[in-house]
Structure 1
């Protein structure tokens, strides 16, 4: 409990929003507000006894009190947009047991995030290149993404909705002709509206994603899409979502109340920009950084995901041409330039506040963009099916093994401390997760295996389903409403 960055603050915010308190009473401390939540959850700040100390096992957690009486407490997430917290906070209304309430919030959050990652994978598979779709999906789902997905934290939903939004947009403007894009357009509206309201900078990420899709879109396809009434309805929904997000930012003053951290008032914007661009562009938080940024993943984890992500980018850069180059450059600018620019803008007031997990949405957008470029490359540069199947099996096996080891390694950190012996983890642990550690490792392996089975099924589709797509051809405005490729 409370073992991910700022999770206690997010838990209290979610419980307060569930009680109808969207903002709370501002305090003298920047960004901190007072709210009233059930007493069992009001003490959540005390749960973070492992924070910043990787040698401390989770046995330090205090006793939990099952008490539903509303009690005042403070949270540093009080000014944040309430949409995510309204979606996940309602389980706190169903029980006075704080553990059950938090597990309920985590499950709801994980289901929402998983749904949008499933949308991403489905959209990529619809391009009919399952090998590349599989590699891109595995690249996006870094161990940090799994870690955040299992916590009460809007960061994972931001990444998932961003990946879904871009993948479906690119499917609409570049993918095989759908019988109708009505469902896809609806997904764009929902994912975009949610994305805009997940975190303070989300509207900026959303605008960047839209630019990637626009610069990579053939004009005939884009014009045909905009000729549909459903597209304009989606644009209206997106505008409403962005409008609420911007109104909340102005009303709450979130971006101007981020607290004070190292470098505040002592570092110039230019220096902050250069430092972020040169020294912190490849933050370990993109791949595997757990606890309160105190537990890095094993080295093999960074090696594998560096190989996957760099391989995608290099392959896409090799085959890109025309508008592909423009889309790739836009995605690279989103990844490399927005974080330094945002850090430079906030350095004087707040100091160095940027973390690698904040860039995960740009990392996902870059992977999706590269995947679409590769899936629409000249057939002459594509691998034959037999080689693709072998390569995908190898990559899935590697990713599954490394994900499982990373999960086990991180669980050991909470069981006996980062330097604890594996023998003590097995026989004399100070703490275990519910159902024991190996239950969740097995669940992870089975889940990744199930995804691999889906890819294998798509890979066995008839050859004509993998014919090159004419991305310049306009879509048929009269086709029936199903998110399925024509056969």
Structure 2
């Protein structure tokens, strides 16, 4: 919404956007940290592995010698003994977390093996200090909180960019869709995958309007693309693949992108250089620390054809995991939440394909290739060395870009405002309750275990022989408030465009202003001089 359309001054518009960022940040943090408070120690995939790595990095053990610490890979770290705990309930969905020894305040230096011991240290340096200073629940919750705060900040930035750049509001619906329960679940844990997913959402929310959007403010977009791009480069080994895929999708053809103009922008040059250097540093680290050695999880010998058929069949499970197969991938919700979420996501993708141009469909194909075909091909090629280790959450940082771009393409090609608003509000009504149900259902699993035959009497998130250290009520209350606030923000978002399709020959942006000003907020005088019009 431009100031000209609202009657507001640019300063008032900027202030309003900052207020919306703060509200979105609170909403996302309350939702994410609800999961952080609800989870037992090592309650999410590999969390203990990452906590041990984080404590080691915080203690100065940045590059431990590669060793066969877990399944033939990883390394050993010396950490406070209160963080070293054995597993007893993971992968046993009928067993609660009551059998596990909680983290304690024991500071005795203890040598512990971790499968994450060879990973790049950036994320662990960010979250590791509390686990060394206050081993036990205080340090674990603080480490989770740091990760949750970072994820909430990135998602709030994505919200503001979409609010200012979405012409018809469909991208706001896409934000609701891509912020899946699994994305929130991982963001709540000590695990770089959660921050990677949040960075992916922020990155694609900003890089799409930056690279192929119409004229408008871009300094803030460059900043958000730079920060989220750096995070994608250093958090996990797949980051360079996501960045390369996005570059191929949006930089070409050159005459239809803003790349040439961005190459002359000093800030864009610096951020691009930083991302390239970070990627090279990660690649060098990967070679030195043998990070690509995933260990031995396979005892089979499969042909490529056999592996391909198995991998294709596994995609049914990947799609459910992307929505939310929580805890240690041992907690599946009943079927309806998966079907509903996937139908909404599929409808959004179909809208993008139908309303988009041939170039839009090409870009969607490139994004799907990077997020689906390449990871599957790598899994097939390495199956006899590492086994089937791929999980749906690993592809989520890339696949969020598919749906965000599908919404962008439909908006730019004439998808009506009324229909976009209806889709977005429908997403709020049907998907946000699933978020709360998924948390409550997972809490039941952690607190009481899931019986073979689940009935309504079994689904009480306030009962069980184990309870979160903060109690069972606070996480549910926090998530409810966060979801209501997020739903209200999305529901009341105003669009900035009309039902007229965007001209296909719009020139790329050359101006440079702030993140918290919407596209077109400074184009009135430019239009008088050279024909540029506000969008």
TM normalised by structure 1 equals 0.90
Query: Residues 468 and 483 of structure 1: is their aligned pair in 2 closer, same or farther, counting only changes over 3 Å?
Result: farther
Are the equivalent residues in 2 in contact too, given 1:174–1:471 (CA < 8 A)? no
Match of 2:66 in 1: 26
Question: Which residue of 328, 331, 339 corresponds with 1:292?
Answer: 328
Are the equivalent residues in 1 in contact too, given 2:144–2:189 (CA < 8 A)? yes
Match of 1:62 in 2: 101
How far did residue 246 of structure 1 move?
A: 0.6
Query: Residues 250 and 174 of structure 1: is their aligned pair in 2 closer, same or farther, counting only changes over 3 Å?
Result: same
How far did residue 270 of structure 1 move?
A: 3.9
Question: Which residue of 269, 272, 277 corresponds with 1:235?
Answer: 272
Query: Residues 445 and 390 of structure 1: is their aligned pair in 2 closer, same or farther, counting only changes over 3 Å?
Result: farther
How far did residue 345 of structure 1 move?
A: 2.6
SS in structure 2 of the partner of residue 157 of structure 1: helix
Alignment of 1:63-462 (within 5 A): 63-96=102-135, 98-129=136-167, 131-179=169-217, 181-215=218-252, 218-219=255-256, 221-255=258-292, 257-262=293-298, 264=300, 266-280=301-315, 283=318, 284-378=320-414, 381-384=415-418, 388-419=420-451, 423=457, 425=460, 428-459=463-494
How far did residue 14 of structure 1 move?
A: 0.6
User: d(CA) in 1 for partners of 2:194 and 2:160?
Assistant: 19
Query: Residues 175 and 483 of structure 1: is their aligned pair in 2 closer, same or farther, counting only changes over 3 Å?
Result: farther
Where relative contact order (Cα < 8 A, 6+ residues apart) is larger, the structure is 2
SS in structure 2 of the partner of residue 361 of structure 1: helix
SS in structure 1 of the partner of residue 377 of structure 2: helix
Match of 2:530 in 1: none
Moved more, 56-65 or 101-110: 56-65
Are the equivalent residues in 2 in contact too, given 1:22–1:82 (CA < 8 A)? yes
How far did residue 436 of structure 1 move?
A: 3.2
Match of 1:3 in 2: 43
User: d(CA) in 2 for partners of 1:243 and 1:370?
Assistant: 31
How far did residue 107 of structure 1 move?
A: 0.8
How far did residue 199 of structure 1 move?
A: 1.1
Query: Residues 39 and 100 of structure 1: is their aligned pair in 2 closer, same or farther, counting only changes over 3 Å?
Result: same
Query: Residues 276 and 150 of structure 1: is their aligned pair in 2 closer, same or farther, counting only changes over 3 Å?
Result: same
Please list the CA deviations of residues 81-129 of structure 1 after superposition, one character each: whole Å capped at 9, or x if unmatched.
1111111112123314x11111111111111122222222222222234
Paired positions, count: 474
How far did residue 346 of structure 1 move?
A: 1.5
SS in structure 2 of the partner of residue 172 of structure 1: helix
Are the equivalent residues in 2 in contact too, given 1:127–1:176 (CA < 8 A)? no
How far did residue 63 of structure 1 move?
A: 4.8
How far did residue 25 of structure 1 move?
A: 3.5
Query: Residues 20 and 5 of structure 1: is their aligned pair in 2 closer, same or farther, counting only changes over 3 Å?
Result: same
Are the equivalent residues in 2 in contact too, given 1:194–1:241 (CA < 8 A)? no
For structure 2, the residue ranges without an aligned partner over 5 or more in a row are: 1-40, 522-535
User: d(CA) in 1 for partners of 2:107 and 2:234?
Assistant: 29
Match of 2:25 in 1: none
User: d(CA) in 1 for partners of 2:496 and 2:166?
Assistant: 10
How far did residue 175 of structure 1 move?
A: 2.7
How far did residue 376 of structure 1 move?
A: 1.0
SS in structure 1 of the partner of residue 169 of structure 2: helix
Moved more, 333-342 or 310-319: 333-342
